[in-house]
Amino acid sequence: MPDTNSTSGSTGASPAASMSSSFGYETVDPADKTQRVGDLFSSVASKYDIMNDAMSGGMHRLWKDRFVRRVKPQPGEATLDMAGGTGDVAFRMAARGAEVTVADINQDMLDVGIERAMARGIDDAEGGLSWSCQNAESLTYPARQYDAYTIVFGIRNVTHIDRALAEAYRVLKHGGRFFCMEFSTTSWPGFKQAYDAYSHRIMPKIGGVIAGDEDSYRYLAESIRRFPKPPQFEAMIQGAGFCQTKVEPILGGAVAIHSGWKL
């Protein structure tokens, strides 16, 4: 399967745990993880969208359509699409009239998104899109600026997830909504074993053939296994202050849409 992220921060973490972070199955220094994740996405940026299609059989497009239907972007709404990279989700929301800021820590990913917008004839000023290099853990935006915050297949790459969730809460207006779509582990018997085998054995090989980078896609598979299970992640979202949280599993939980409100 495609896309990004891993976890290091969690509610109730010990001081010792906060001094380390996971990079796939490795335990690394938090600063080292941030650098390595940045290098990884710079490496795969030019082939990122092709790889998403190859590894999901095109299903990621259906998942993103479903995600945007849940977000219900409205004309004129200010939306922050964090880890928005190549613009896949942002294009869908902007088409519904939302004013979308595409933010990503990796400028190479943003550059691909800007090129895609230009190829579609989308002018930033009139197309409802703007692009900004941002760290999800320390956004430069003022508080209570956005009506919606979205992050798709990105939060598991964040070094300290709790900080990113706190920032999402901070920049949302009262009544604002948080939506996240992320990979997890499926509970379907039979499919779980096939999914695990595909992720660990086949996905890195596809990455090597198409993107020339087997190691990056091995990390992405490993990061899915290290990400909190949906109930644990929902508890983290609640811990950041969000109310009326919800988890919508897809493929038995292999993918899940998480949501919450700032009330």
Contact call for residues 252 and 191 (beta carbons, < 8 A): yes
The CA radius of gyration of the chain, in Å to the nearest whole number, is 17
Per-residue b or e along 193-205, where b marks 16 or more CB atoms closer than 10 Å to that residue's CB: eebeeebeeebbe
Please give the annotated binding residues for S-adenosyl-L-methionine, written as ranges: 86, 104, 135-136
Among 46, 52, 171, which residue's Cα sits nearest to residue 110? Answer: 46
Annotated binding residues = 86, 104, 135-136
Q: Which of 84, 80, 86, 93 is CA-nearest to residue 139?
A: 80
Query: Helix 203-210 crosses helix 48-56 at what angle (to 10 degrees)?
Result: 140
Q: Measure the CA–CA gap between 40 and 34, rounded to whole angstroms.
A: 10
Do 93 and 81 meet the contact criterion of CB atoms below 8 Å apart? yes
Question: Residue 104 has which token pair?
Answer: 């990503």
Instruction: Work out whether strand 172-183 and strand 243-250 pair parallel, antiparallel, or are unpaired.
Output: unpaired
Q: Are 197 and 221 a contacting pair, CB within 8 Å? A: no
Kindly tell me the number of DSSP H helices and DSSP E strands found in the chain: 12, 9
What is the length of the chain? 263
Angle (CA) 115-71-1 rounded to 5° is 60
CA dihedral sign, ordered 69, 72, 74, 79 = negative
